[in-house]
Chains A and B, each alone.
Chain A
Amino acid sequence: AQTVTQSQPEMSVQEAETVTLSCTYDTSESDYYLFWYKQPPSRQMILVIRQEAYKQQNATENRFSVNFQKAAKSFSLKISDSQLGDAAMYFCAYRRPGQFYFGTGTSLTVIP
């Protein structure tokens, strides 16, 4: 079975600082995709970043980057220079064809 685990229900970070959100997953597949989605309060889910499992290079999108450790089945999200607008629920997701699995989320608070 494929499962996604986010072990940090809540995290906080000072504005302009860096924070890392953790995610682990369980799979027997070799070809899959991983995603981080952001869900602000009462707003819709937005894609933050994605990673193809066959790529060794970690994905980066502006202030957002991932640390993808395939052997360890770990996929953490690093947010640099945190901004107030980064406050949201963050979900890690795993995808193989036709199936998506989401973690339970990490609620990020940004302290001014």
Chain B
Amino acid sequence: DTGVSQDPRHKITKRGQNVTFRCDPISEHNRLYWYRQTLGQGPEFLTYFQNEAQLEKSRLLSDRFSAERPKGSFSTLEIQRTEQGDSAMYLCASSSRAGSDTQYFGPGTRLTVL
């Protein structure tokens, strides 16, 4: 068990560019979550996968955001036409179906939009 990993750890981009982040969950976990965290705030739920199915998506998520988990393993989060307001830490977490659905978090990807 190597834990949840995220790549890249840091991303600096210019406004209007597209960015893609990757999350590799703990191998036996079938649930995967994406969150956004801004300075001084708690994580804000973005979307949730069970296996390859995207079961929940926050109403706060604009159409510029899309997430995939094509084979039920790793997931990608893409932001199109980035805006300065997208600057945040993007967290990924995974959990197993059984029990309390305790989430294990990755280190996050810090996005800075110039």
Interface residues of A (CB under 8 A from B): 4, 33, 35, 37, 43-47, 50, 52, 91, 93, 95, 97-105
Contacts and interface: CB of A to CB of B under 8 A. Distances in A.
A47 B42 contact: no
B101 A95 contact: yes
Contact of B100 (A4, A33, A45): A33
Q: Most chain-A Cβ atoms within 10 A of its Cβ — which of B55, B56, B100, B102?
A: B100
B56 A50 contact: no
Q: Is the interface of A mostly helix, strand, loop or mixed?
A: strand
B85 interface: no
B108 A44 contact: yes
Contacts of A37: 105
B104 interface: yes
Contacts of A105: 40-42
B100 A104 contact: no
A47 B41 CA distance: 17
Interface string B44-67: 110010000001100000000000
A91 B93 CA distance: 15
A98 B55 contact: yes
B100 A102 contact: no
A11 to B, nearest CB: 15
